[in-house]
Structure 1
Amino acid sequence: MRKTILITGASSGLGAGMARVWAAKGHDLALTARRVERLEALKADLEAAYPSIRVVVHALDVDDHEQVFAVFKAAAADLGGLDRVVVNAGIGKGGRIGTGRFEANRETVQTNFVAALAQCEAAMEHFYERRSGHLVVISSVSAMRGMPGSMTTYAATKAGLAHLAEGIRSDLVNRKGHDIAVSAIFPGYIASEMNDQVEQKPKGMVDTVTGSKALVAAIDSEKPERIVPSWPWRPLAFVLRHAPLGIVRRMV
Protein backbone atom coordinates (compact mmCIF):
# COMPACT_ATOMS: atom_id res chain seq x y z
CA MET A 1 0.00 0.00 0.00
CA ARG A 2 1.19 3.53 -0.79
CA LYS A 3 0.91 4.64 2.82
CA THR A 4 1.93 8.32 2.64
CA ILE A 5 0.30 10.61 0.07
CA LEU A 6 0.93 14.25 -0.81
CA ILE A 7 -1.90 16.12 -2.53
CA THR A 8 -1.54 19.59 -4.02
CA GLY A 9 -4.58 21.84 -4.25
CA ALA A 10 -6.03 20.03 -1.23
CA SER A 11 -7.87 22.91 0.44
CA SER A 12 -11.16 22.33 -1.40
CA GLY A 13 -12.94 20.44 -4.16
CA LEU A 14 -11.48 17.22 -5.48
CA GLY A 15 -8.22 17.60 -3.55
CA ALA A 16 -10.06 17.76 -0.23
CA GLY A 17 -12.46 15.06 -1.41
CA MET A 18 -9.64 12.63 -2.22
CA ALA A 19 -8.00 13.42 1.13
CA ARG A 20 -11.17 12.41 2.96
CA VAL A 21 -11.42 9.11 1.07
CA TRP A 22 -7.78 8.19 1.66
CA ALA A 23 -7.96 9.20 5.31
CA ALA A 24 -10.85 6.76 5.74
CA LYS A 25 -8.63 4.07 4.22
CA GLY A 26 -5.88 4.75 6.80
CA HIS A 27 -3.36 6.73 4.75
CA ASP A 28 -1.06 9.40 6.18
CA LEU A 29 -1.43 12.66 4.28
CA ALA A 30 0.54 15.77 3.37
CA LEU A 31 -1.96 18.43 2.29
CA THR A 32 -0.78 21.52 0.43
CA ALA A 33 -2.50 24.63 -0.91
CA ARG A 34 -2.38 28.41 -0.65
CA ARG A 35 -5.30 28.64 1.80
CA VAL A 36 -3.72 27.26 4.96
CA GLU A 37 -6.74 27.98 7.16
CA ARG A 38 -8.79 25.57 5.06
CA LEU A 39 -6.05 22.96 5.24
CA GLU A 40 -5.92 23.30 9.03
CA ALA A 41 -9.69 22.84 9.26
CA LEU A 42 -9.52 19.75 7.04
CA LYS A 43 -6.62 18.37 9.08
CA ALA A 44 -8.63 18.82 12.29
CA ASP A 45 -11.65 17.04 10.78
CA LEU A 46 -9.59 14.12 9.50
CA GLU A 47 -7.59 13.62 12.69
CA ALA A 48 -10.77 13.73 14.77
CA ALA A 49 -12.46 11.15 12.56
CA TYR A 50 -9.39 8.92 12.11
CA PRO A 51 -7.07 9.27 15.15
CA SER A 52 -4.59 6.68 13.89
CA ILE A 53 -3.47 8.67 10.81
CA ARG A 54 -0.98 11.50 10.50
CA VAL A 55 -1.88 14.66 8.61
CA VAL A 56 0.57 17.48 7.92
CA VAL A 57 -0.21 20.71 6.10
CA HIS A 58 2.02 23.09 4.18
CA ALA A 59 1.27 26.42 2.55
CA LEU A 60 2.11 26.11 -1.14
CA ASP A 61 1.63 28.33 -4.14
CA VAL A 62 2.56 25.94 -6.94
CA ASP A 63 3.51 28.89 -9.17
CA ASP A 64 6.43 29.48 -6.77
CA HIS A 65 8.65 26.74 -8.14
CA GLU A 66 11.36 26.98 -5.48
CA GLN A 67 8.65 26.60 -2.85
CA VAL A 68 7.39 23.45 -4.58
CA PHE A 69 10.75 21.71 -4.13
CA ALA A 70 11.12 22.97 -0.54
CA VAL A 71 7.61 21.91 0.51
CA PHE A 72 7.90 18.47 -1.06
CA LYS A 73 11.15 17.88 0.84
CA ALA A 74 9.63 19.15 4.09
CA ALA A 75 6.55 16.95 3.69
CA ALA A 76 8.73 13.93 2.96
CA ALA A 77 10.72 14.62 6.13
CA ASP A 78 7.50 15.01 8.14
CA LEU A 79 6.13 11.64 7.07
CA GLY A 80 9.35 9.67 6.66
CA GLY A 81 9.06 9.72 2.87
CA LEU A 82 6.32 10.06 0.28
CA ASP A 83 4.81 7.00 -1.40
CA ARG A 84 2.47 8.88 -3.74
CA VAL A 85 2.23 12.45 -5.05
CA VAL A 86 -1.00 13.69 -6.63
CA VAL A 87 -0.46 16.69 -8.93
CA ASN A 88 -3.93 18.12 -8.54
CA ALA A 89 -3.61 21.92 -8.21
CA GLY A 90 -4.99 23.78 -11.20
CA ILE A 91 -7.16 26.65 -12.41
CA GLY A 92 -9.86 27.01 -15.06
CA LYS A 93 -9.36 30.54 -16.37
CA GLY A 94 -9.25 31.33 -20.07
CA GLY A 95 -10.90 32.82 -23.10
CA ARG A 96 -11.23 32.22 -26.81
CA ILE A 97 -7.87 32.77 -28.48
CA GLY A 98 -7.58 36.19 -30.09
CA THR A 99 -10.17 37.94 -27.94
CA GLY A 100 -7.88 39.82 -25.57
CA ARG A 101 -7.75 37.16 -22.87
CA PHE A 102 -4.06 36.39 -23.19
CA GLU A 103 -3.29 37.11 -19.55
CA ALA A 104 -5.93 34.66 -18.31
CA ASN A 105 -4.74 32.04 -20.80
CA ARG A 106 -1.12 32.61 -19.75
CA GLU A 107 -2.04 32.13 -16.08
CA THR A 108 -3.74 28.85 -16.96
CA VAL A 109 -0.64 27.60 -18.77
CA GLN A 110 1.59 28.73 -15.92
CA THR A 111 -0.39 26.94 -13.21
CA ASN A 112 -1.72 23.89 -15.05
CA PHE A 113 1.45 22.98 -16.93
CA VAL A 114 4.60 24.81 -15.84
CA ALA A 115 3.79 24.50 -12.14
CA ALA A 116 2.76 20.89 -12.70
CA LEU A 117 6.15 20.27 -14.31
CA ALA A 118 7.83 21.58 -11.14
CA GLN A 119 5.70 19.22 -9.04
CA CYS A 120 6.58 16.26 -11.26
CA GLU A 121 10.28 17.15 -11.06
CA ALA A 122 10.20 17.37 -7.27
CA ALA A 123 8.22 14.15 -6.91
CA MET A 124 10.38 12.13 -9.29
CA GLU A 125 13.61 13.30 -7.65
CA HIS A 126 12.27 11.88 -4.39
CA PHE A 127 11.04 8.66 -5.99
CA TYR A 128 14.32 8.06 -7.81
CA GLU A 129 16.15 8.39 -4.49
CA ARG A 130 13.79 5.89 -2.83
CA ARG A 131 13.44 3.70 -5.94
CA SER A 132 9.75 3.64 -5.14
CA GLY A 133 6.70 5.87 -5.49
CA HIS A 134 3.59 6.68 -7.49
CA LEU A 135 3.30 9.92 -9.47
CA VAL A 136 -0.28 10.86 -10.33
CA VAL A 137 -1.29 13.76 -12.57
CA ILE A 138 -4.90 14.93 -12.77
CA SER A 139 -5.58 15.69 -16.43
CA SER A 140 -9.12 15.98 -17.88
CA VAL A 141 -11.38 14.33 -20.44
CA SER A 142 -11.14 17.68 -22.26
CA ALA A 143 -7.53 16.73 -23.05
CA MET A 144 -8.77 14.23 -25.64
CA ARG A 145 -9.19 16.95 -28.30
CA GLY A 146 -8.65 20.63 -28.95
CA MET A 147 -11.57 22.39 -27.29
CA PRO A 148 -13.37 25.54 -28.47
CA GLY A 149 -13.86 28.92 -26.85
CA SER A 150 -12.86 29.45 -23.24
CA MET A 151 -11.76 25.80 -22.89
CA THR A 152 -9.03 25.93 -25.56
CA THR A 153 -6.07 26.73 -23.34
CA TYR A 154 -7.31 24.69 -20.39
CA ALA A 155 -7.70 21.57 -22.53
CA ALA A 156 -4.28 22.12 -24.11
CA THR A 157 -2.60 22.28 -20.69
CA LYS A 158 -4.31 19.07 -19.61
CA ALA A 159 -3.24 17.34 -22.83
CA GLY A 160 0.32 18.52 -22.26
CA LEU A 161 0.22 17.23 -18.69
CA ALA A 162 -0.93 13.79 -19.85
CA HIS A 163 1.92 13.65 -22.39
CA LEU A 164 4.35 14.74 -19.69
CA ALA A 165 3.26 11.81 -17.53
CA GLU A 166 3.62 9.41 -20.44
CA GLY A 167 7.14 10.66 -21.14
CA ILE A 168 8.13 10.17 -17.50
CA ARG A 169 6.63 6.68 -17.61
CA SER A 170 8.64 5.93 -20.75
CA ASP A 171 11.85 6.73 -18.87
CA LEU A 172 10.98 3.96 -16.43
CA VAL A 173 10.40 1.20 -18.97
CA ASN A 174 13.95 -0.16 -19.03
CA ARG A 175 14.86 0.73 -15.46
CA LYS A 176 15.32 -2.31 -13.23
CA GLY A 177 14.89 -2.77 -9.52
CA HIS A 178 12.37 -0.04 -8.80
CA ASP A 179 8.74 0.25 -7.77
CA ILE A 180 7.83 3.56 -9.44
CA ALA A 181 4.52 4.02 -11.24
CA VAL A 182 3.15 6.99 -13.18
CA SER A 183 -0.57 7.52 -13.79
CA ALA A 184 -2.58 10.08 -15.72
CA ILE A 185 -6.19 10.41 -14.58
CA PHE A 186 -8.81 11.92 -16.90
CA PRO A 187 -11.85 13.08 -14.90
CA GLY A 188 -15.11 13.86 -16.62
CA TYR A 189 -17.42 16.50 -15.17
CA ILE A 190 -17.20 16.32 -11.38
CA ALA A 191 -18.71 19.05 -9.21
CA SER A 192 -16.02 21.12 -7.47
CA GLU A 193 -15.29 24.65 -6.34
CA MET A 194 -13.77 25.35 -9.77
CA ASN A 195 -17.11 24.89 -11.51
CA ASP A 196 -19.68 25.64 -8.79
CA GLN A 197 -20.31 29.12 -10.21
CA VAL A 198 -21.38 27.75 -13.58
CA GLU A 199 -25.11 28.38 -13.96
CA GLN A 200 -25.80 25.57 -16.43
CA LYS A 201 -24.25 22.36 -15.16
CA PRO A 202 -22.89 20.09 -17.91
CA LYS A 203 -24.69 16.83 -18.62
CA GLY A 204 -23.17 13.87 -16.85
CA MET A 205 -21.78 15.85 -13.90
CA VAL A 206 -21.46 13.83 -10.70
CA ASP A 207 -21.24 15.18 -7.16
CA THR A 208 -17.90 15.76 -5.41
CA VAL A 209 -18.18 12.76 -3.07
CA THR A 210 -18.98 10.31 -5.87
CA GLY A 211 -16.28 11.81 -8.07
CA SER A 212 -13.67 11.74 -5.31
CA LYS A 213 -14.33 8.06 -4.60
CA ALA A 214 -14.03 7.27 -8.31
CA LEU A 215 -10.75 9.19 -8.52
CA VAL A 216 -9.27 7.38 -5.53
CA ALA A 217 -10.28 3.98 -6.90
CA ALA A 218 -8.71 4.83 -10.27
CA ILE A 219 -5.50 6.09 -8.66
CA ASP A 220 -5.20 3.12 -6.31
CA SER A 221 -5.34 0.80 -9.33
CA GLU A 222 -2.03 2.37 -10.50
CA LYS A 223 -3.01 1.89 -14.13
CA PRO A 224 -1.09 4.14 -16.56
CA GLU A 225 -4.30 5.91 -17.62
CA ARG A 226 -7.85 5.93 -16.26
CA ILE A 227 -10.98 7.85 -17.29
CA VAL A 228 -13.33 8.53 -14.37
CA PRO A 229 -16.14 7.99 -13.74
CA SER A 230 -16.05 5.14 -16.26
CA TRP A 231 -19.67 5.72 -17.25
CA PRO A 232 -20.44 7.74 -19.29
CA TRP A 233 -16.97 9.20 -19.74
CA ARG A 234 -15.08 6.26 -21.21
CA PRO A 235 -17.35 5.98 -24.30
CA LEU A 236 -17.67 9.78 -24.50
CA ALA A 237 -13.88 10.11 -24.47
CA PHE A 238 -13.71 7.75 -27.45
CA VAL A 239 -16.21 9.93 -29.31
CA LEU A 240 -14.29 13.09 -28.39
CA ARG A 241 -11.08 11.58 -29.77
CA HIS A 242 -12.57 10.58 -33.13
CA ALA A 243 -15.61 12.75 -33.90
CA PRO A 244 -15.48 15.67 -36.39
CA LEU A 245 -14.86 19.02 -34.71
CA GLY A 246 -18.43 20.14 -35.42
CA ILE A 247 -19.73 17.32 -33.24
CA VAL A 248 -17.12 17.98 -30.56
CA ARG A 249 -18.30 21.60 -30.35
CA ARG A 250 -21.86 20.46 -29.68
CA MET A 251 -20.71 18.06 -26.95
CA VAL A 252 -19.02 20.68 -24.76
Structure 2
Amino acid sequence: MSNSPKPAQATPLNPRRRGIIVGASDGMGATLAHKLVKEGYTLALIARRKEKLSSLCAEINTAEGETRALAYVHDVANYDEVPDLLRKIVADLGGLDLVVFMAGVNFPPGLNNYNFEGDRKMIEVNLIGAMAWLSPVAEMFQNAKAGQIVGISSVAGDRGRIGNPGYNTSKAGLTTYLEALRNRLTRHGVNVLTVKPGFVKTEMIKAAQGGTPFAISPEQAAEDIYKAMRKRKQLIYTASIWRWIMLVIQHVPSVIFRRMSF
Protein backbone atom coordinates (compact mmCIF):
# COMPACT_ATOMS: atom_id res chain seq x y z
CA MET A 1 0.00 0.00 0.00
CA SER A 2 1.03 3.60 -0.54
CA ASN A 3 1.09 5.95 2.42
CA SER A 4 2.04 9.06 0.42
CA PRO A 5 -0.42 11.87 -0.38
CA LYS A 6 -2.07 11.49 -3.74
CA PRO A 7 -0.36 13.37 -6.57
CA ALA A 8 -1.88 16.37 -8.26
CA GLN A 9 -4.17 15.23 -11.05
CA ALA A 10 -3.38 16.00 -14.67
CA THR A 11 -5.37 18.80 -16.29
CA PRO A 12 -5.59 20.09 -19.88
CA LEU A 13 -3.27 22.96 -18.89
CA ASN A 14 -0.94 20.68 -16.93
CA PRO A 15 -0.88 17.30 -18.66
CA ARG A 16 1.10 14.81 -16.64
CA ARG A 17 2.09 11.38 -17.81
CA ARG A 18 1.57 8.58 -15.33
CA GLY A 19 3.68 5.46 -15.07
CA ILE A 20 4.49 2.35 -13.08
CA ILE A 21 7.98 0.94 -12.54
CA VAL A 22 7.94 -2.63 -11.24
CA GLY A 23 11.26 -3.29 -9.54
CA ALA A 24 12.19 0.27 -8.66
CA SER A 25 13.94 0.32 -5.29
CA ASP A 26 17.53 0.59 -6.53
CA GLY A 27 19.84 0.18 -9.53
CA MET A 28 18.39 0.89 -12.96
CA GLY A 29 14.85 1.09 -11.59
CA ALA A 30 15.64 3.85 -9.11
CA THR A 31 17.76 5.73 -11.64
CA LEU A 32 15.04 5.53 -14.30
CA ALA A 33 12.50 6.75 -11.73
CA HIS A 34 14.55 9.90 -11.14
CA LYS A 35 14.89 10.41 -14.88
CA LEU A 36 11.20 9.99 -15.67
CA VAL A 37 10.09 12.31 -12.87
CA LYS A 38 12.40 15.01 -14.21
CA GLU A 39 10.79 14.47 -17.63
CA GLY A 40 7.32 15.11 -16.25
CA TYR A 41 6.04 11.72 -15.11
CA THR A 42 4.22 10.92 -11.88
CA LEU A 43 5.13 7.39 -10.88
CA ALA A 44 3.97 4.41 -8.87
CA LEU A 45 7.11 2.62 -7.71
CA ILE A 46 6.87 -1.06 -6.84
CA ALA A 47 9.43 -3.21 -5.04
CA ARG A 48 9.79 -5.78 -2.26
CA ARG A 49 12.05 -3.76 0.04
CA LYS A 50 9.92 -1.23 1.92
CA GLU A 51 12.79 0.78 3.41
CA LYS A 52 14.59 1.38 0.11
CA LEU A 53 11.34 2.10 -1.69
CA SER A 54 10.16 4.60 0.92
CA SER A 55 13.56 6.29 0.90
CA LEU A 56 13.53 6.62 -2.89
CA CYS A 57 10.04 8.12 -2.95
CA ALA A 58 10.90 10.55 -0.14
CA GLU A 59 14.04 11.62 -2.00
CA ILE A 60 12.11 12.23 -5.23
CA ASN A 61 9.20 14.03 -3.59
CA THR A 62 11.45 16.25 -1.49
CA ALA A 63 13.49 17.24 -4.53
CA GLU A 64 10.35 18.00 -6.57
CA GLY A 65 8.49 19.79 -3.78
CA GLU A 66 5.34 17.75 -4.43
CA THR A 67 4.18 14.16 -4.57
CA ARG A 68 5.55 12.68 -7.78
CA ALA A 69 6.38 9.14 -6.60
CA LEU A 70 4.14 6.74 -4.70
CA ALA A 71 5.48 3.60 -2.99
CA TYR A 72 3.80 0.19 -3.24
CA VAL A 73 5.40 -2.80 -1.53
CA HIS A 74 4.89 -5.96 -3.56
CA ASP A 75 6.70 -9.19 -4.43
CA VAL A 76 6.15 -9.89 -8.14
CA ALA A 77 5.97 -13.63 -7.40
CA ASN A 78 2.68 -12.97 -5.56
CA TYR A 79 0.71 -13.01 -8.80
CA ASP A 80 -2.73 -12.98 -7.17
CA GLU A 81 -2.07 -9.51 -5.76
CA VAL A 82 -1.60 -7.90 -9.18
CA PRO A 83 -5.19 -7.21 -10.35
CA ASP A 84 -6.24 -5.37 -7.18
CA LEU A 85 -2.94 -3.55 -6.86
CA LEU A 86 -3.05 -2.44 -10.49
CA ARG A 87 -6.59 -1.10 -10.07
CA LYS A 88 -5.56 0.80 -6.93
CA ILE A 89 -2.53 2.33 -8.64
CA VAL A 90 -4.54 3.47 -11.66
CA ALA A 91 -7.06 5.08 -9.31
CA ASP A 92 -4.31 6.73 -7.24
CA LEU A 93 -2.53 8.08 -10.33
CA GLY A 94 -5.74 9.07 -12.10
CA GLY A 95 -4.86 7.02 -15.19
CA LEU A 96 -1.91 5.19 -16.73
CA ASP A 97 0.33 5.87 -19.72
CA LEU A 98 3.43 3.74 -19.11
CA VAL A 99 4.48 0.50 -17.42
CA VAL A 100 8.12 -0.53 -17.05
CA PHE A 101 8.82 -4.08 -15.89
CA MET A 102 12.30 -3.92 -14.37
CA ALA A 103 12.15 -6.64 -11.69
CA GLY A 104 14.65 -9.46 -12.00
CA VAL A 105 16.77 -11.91 -10.03
CA ASN A 106 19.87 -13.88 -10.95
CA PHE A 107 21.10 -17.02 -9.18
CA PRO A 108 24.02 -18.45 -11.18
CA PRO A 109 24.56 -22.11 -10.25
CA GLY A 110 28.22 -22.32 -11.30
CA LEU A 111 29.59 -24.18 -14.29
CA ASN A 112 29.51 -27.63 -12.67
CA ASN A 113 26.32 -27.32 -10.62
CA TYR A 114 22.59 -27.51 -11.21
CA ASN A 115 20.09 -25.72 -9.00
CA PHE A 116 16.43 -26.17 -9.82
CA GLU A 117 15.31 -24.02 -6.89
CA GLY A 118 17.29 -21.07 -8.22
CA ASP A 119 16.07 -21.73 -11.76
CA ARG A 120 12.47 -21.83 -10.58
CA LYS A 121 12.78 -18.51 -8.75
CA MET A 122 14.30 -16.84 -11.83
CA ILE A 123 11.43 -18.06 -14.02
CA GLU A 124 8.86 -17.02 -11.40
CA VAL A 125 10.19 -13.47 -11.10
CA ASN A 126 11.80 -12.68 -14.45
CA LEU A 127 9.18 -14.25 -16.71
CA ILE A 128 5.94 -15.16 -14.95
CA GLY A 129 6.09 -12.00 -12.82
CA ALA A 130 6.34 -9.97 -16.01
CA MET A 131 3.41 -11.81 -17.55
CA ALA A 132 1.29 -11.31 -14.42
CA TRP A 133 1.76 -7.55 -14.68
CA LEU A 134 1.93 -6.97 -18.41
CA SER A 135 -1.01 -9.13 -19.46
CA PRO A 136 -3.65 -6.97 -17.70
CA VAL A 137 -1.77 -3.82 -18.69
CA ALA A 138 -1.74 -4.93 -22.33
CA GLU A 139 -5.51 -5.47 -22.23
CA MET A 140 -6.02 -2.04 -20.65
CA PHE A 141 -3.82 -0.27 -23.20
CA GLN A 142 -5.35 -2.18 -26.12
CA ASN A 143 -8.81 -1.05 -25.09
CA ALA A 144 -7.57 2.53 -24.68
CA LYS A 145 -5.63 2.37 -27.98
CA ALA A 146 -2.76 4.15 -26.24
CA GLY A 147 0.09 3.50 -23.85
CA GLN A 148 3.64 2.24 -23.65
CA ILE A 149 5.15 -0.94 -22.19
CA VAL A 150 8.88 -1.27 -21.50
CA GLY A 151 10.33 -4.65 -20.57
CA ILE A 152 13.90 -5.08 -19.34
CA SER A 153 15.20 -8.30 -20.81
CA SER A 154 18.94 -9.04 -21.28
CA VAL A 155 21.61 -10.01 -23.76
CA ALA A 156 21.63 -13.24 -21.72
CA GLY A 157 18.42 -14.27 -23.47
CA ASP A 158 19.91 -14.15 -26.96
CA ARG A 159 21.53 -17.57 -26.77
CA GLY A 160 21.70 -20.55 -24.41
CA ARG A 161 25.10 -20.35 -22.73
CA ILE A 162 26.55 -22.83 -20.29
CA GLY A 163 27.01 -20.54 -17.29
CA ASN A 164 23.41 -19.95 -16.24
CA PRO A 165 20.76 -21.89 -18.20
CA GLY A 166 17.87 -20.79 -15.98
CA TYR A 167 18.62 -17.08 -16.30
CA ASN A 168 19.16 -17.39 -20.06
CA THR A 169 15.81 -19.14 -20.34
CA SER A 170 13.93 -16.58 -18.24
CA LYS A 171 15.23 -13.70 -20.36
CA ALA A 172 14.72 -15.52 -23.68
CA GLY A 173 11.13 -16.18 -22.63
CA LEU A 174 10.65 -12.55 -21.66
CA THR A 175 12.05 -11.33 -24.99
CA THR A 176 9.64 -13.60 -26.90
CA TYR A 177 6.70 -12.57 -24.71
CA LEU A 178 7.42 -8.87 -25.30
CA GLU A 179 7.68 -9.49 -29.04
CA ALA A 180 4.31 -11.22 -29.01
CA LEU A 181 2.75 -8.32 -27.09
CA ARG A 182 4.30 -5.90 -29.60
CA ASN A 183 2.85 -7.81 -32.52
CA ARG A 184 -0.58 -7.72 -30.89
CA LEU A 185 -0.54 -4.14 -29.64
CA THR A 186 1.20 -2.11 -32.36
CA ARG A 187 -1.97 -2.21 -34.49
CA HIS A 188 -3.82 -0.68 -31.53
CA GLY A 189 -1.45 2.27 -31.11
CA VAL A 190 0.48 0.81 -28.17
CA ASN A 191 4.29 0.81 -28.16
CA VAL A 192 6.20 -2.12 -26.65
CA LEU A 193 9.93 -1.59 -26.10
CA THR A 194 12.30 -4.46 -25.29
CA VAL A 195 15.53 -3.37 -23.59
CA LYS A 196 18.51 -5.73 -23.61
CA PRO A 197 21.22 -4.47 -21.26
CA GLY A 198 24.67 -5.98 -21.17
CA PHE A 199 26.53 -5.36 -17.93
CA VAL A 200 25.20 -2.51 -15.78
CA LYS A 201 26.99 -1.41 -12.61
CA THR A 202 24.33 -2.51 -10.12
CA GLU A 203 24.12 -5.15 -7.40
CA MET A 204 23.20 -7.79 -9.99
CA ILE A 205 26.57 -7.39 -11.71
CA LYS A 206 28.08 -9.31 -8.78
CA ALA A 207 26.41 -12.45 -10.17
CA ALA A 208 28.20 -12.06 -13.52
CA GLN A 209 30.67 -14.76 -14.50
CA GLY A 210 33.79 -14.37 -16.61
CA GLY A 211 34.27 -10.61 -16.33
CA THR A 212 32.06 -7.61 -17.11
CA PRO A 213 33.19 -6.01 -20.38
CA PHE A 214 31.56 -2.78 -21.57
CA ALA A 215 29.84 -2.26 -18.21
CA ILE A 216 27.86 0.99 -18.07
CA SER A 217 26.39 3.10 -15.29
CA PRO A 218 22.69 2.94 -14.37
CA GLU A 219 22.51 6.58 -15.48
CA GLN A 220 23.62 5.71 -19.03
CA ALA A 221 21.16 2.81 -19.15
CA ALA A 222 18.31 5.08 -17.97
CA GLU A 223 19.23 7.71 -20.57
CA ASP A 224 19.27 5.09 -23.34
CA ILE A 225 15.90 3.72 -22.23
CA TYR A 226 14.27 7.15 -22.09
CA LYS A 227 15.57 8.13 -25.53
CA ALA A 228 14.19 4.87 -26.95
CA MET A 229 10.84 5.50 -25.25
CA ARG A 230 10.57 8.95 -26.79
CA LYS A 231 11.34 7.58 -30.24
CA ARG A 232 8.91 4.68 -29.63
CA LYS A 233 11.54 2.15 -30.61
CA GLN A 234 10.85 -1.57 -30.46
CA LEU A 235 14.22 -2.93 -29.32
CA ILE A 236 17.46 -1.52 -27.99
CA TYR A 237 20.70 -2.87 -26.58
CA THR A 238 22.51 -0.86 -23.90
CA ALA A 239 25.33 -0.21 -24.32
CA SER A 240 24.71 -0.20 -28.09
CA ILE A 241 27.88 -2.20 -28.78
CA TRP A 242 26.05 -5.29 -27.49
CA ARG A 243 23.86 -5.30 -30.60
CA TRP A 244 26.93 -6.14 -32.68
CA ILE A 245 28.47 -8.48 -30.13
CA MET A 246 25.27 -10.50 -29.88
CA LEU A 247 24.82 -10.51 -33.66
CA VAL A 248 28.17 -12.31 -33.89
CA ILE A 249 27.35 -14.66 -31.00
CA GLN A 250 23.97 -15.55 -32.50
CA HIS A 251 25.67 -16.63 -35.73
CA VAL A 252 28.43 -18.77 -34.22
CA PRO A 253 27.71 -22.36 -35.37
CA SER A 254 26.35 -24.56 -32.60
CA VAL A 255 29.15 -27.10 -32.99
CA ILE A 256 31.61 -24.34 -32.05
CA PHE A 257 29.43 -22.44 -29.60
CA ARG A 258 28.87 -25.42 -27.32
CA ARG A 259 32.62 -25.69 -26.73
CA MET A 260 32.87 -22.14 -25.42
CA SER A 261 33.19 -21.58 -21.71
CA PHE A 262 31.05 -18.48 -21.12
Is TM-score (shorter-chain normalized) higher than 0.5? Answer: yes
1:88 aligns with 2:88: no
State whether residues 96 and 148 of structure 1, in contact with CA within 8 Å, keep that contact through their aligned partners in structure 2: no
Which residue identity is paired with 1:156? T
Q: Distance in 2 between matches of 1:145 and 1:100?
A: 18
Counterpart contact for 2:200–2:218, Cα < 8 Å: yes
Match of 1:183 in 2: 193
What TM-score results when the alignment is normalised by the length of structure 2?
Answer: 0.85
1:153-184 Cα shifts (integer Å, max 9, x gaps): 111111111111111122235x4xx4311111
CA deviations 1:13-58 (Å, max 9, x no partner) are 1111110111121211110001122111111111122235621111
Tell whether the 8 Å contact from 2:16 to 2:40 is kept in structure 1 after alignment: no
Equivalent position of 1:66 in the other structure: 80
Give 2:166's match in structure 1, choosing from 128, 144, 153: 153
- 5+ long unaligned stretches in structure 2: 1-14
State whether residues 199 and 205 of structure 2, in contact with CA within 8 Å, keep that contact through their aligned partners in structure 1.
Answer: no
Q: Pick from 211, 234, 243 the counterpart of residue 234 of structure 1.
A: 243
Instruction: State the alpha-carbon separation in 1 of the partners of residues 96 and 224 from structure 2.
Output: 22
Q: Which amino acid aligns with 2:127?
A: F
In the alignment, residue 186 of structure 1 is paired with which amino acid?
K
Q: Name the counterpart of 2:133.
A: 119
SS at match of 2:190: strand
Q: 1:2 to 1:203 in 2, by over 3 A?
A: farther
Whole-angstrom distance in 2 between the partners of 1:248 and 1:235: 20
Superposed structure 1 runs of 4+ greater than 6 Å apart: none
Query: What is the distance in 2 between the residues matched to 1:89 and 1:25?
Result: 22
Structure 1: give runs of 5+ residues left out of the alignment.
Answer: none
- 2:214 pairs, out of 200, 204, 218, with 204
Percent identity, please.
31
Aligned to 1:244: 253
Aligned equivalent of 1:225: 235
1:169-228, CA deviations, whole angstroms, 9 ceiling, x for partnerless residues? 22235x4xx431111111111111212466974111112222222222223322111111
**Count of aligned pairs between the two proteins:** 247
The TM-score normalised by the length of structure 1 is 0.89
Q: Alpha carbons of 1:198 and 1:124: their partners in 2 closer, same or farther (altered >3 Å)?
A: closer
- Contact 1:3/1:27 (<8 A) preserved: yes
For the aligned residue pairs, the C-alpha RMSD in angstroms reads 2.4
Give the conservation status (yes or no) of the 8 Å contact 2:147–2:190: yes
In 1, Cα distance between the equivalents of 2:224 and 2:191?
Answer: 19
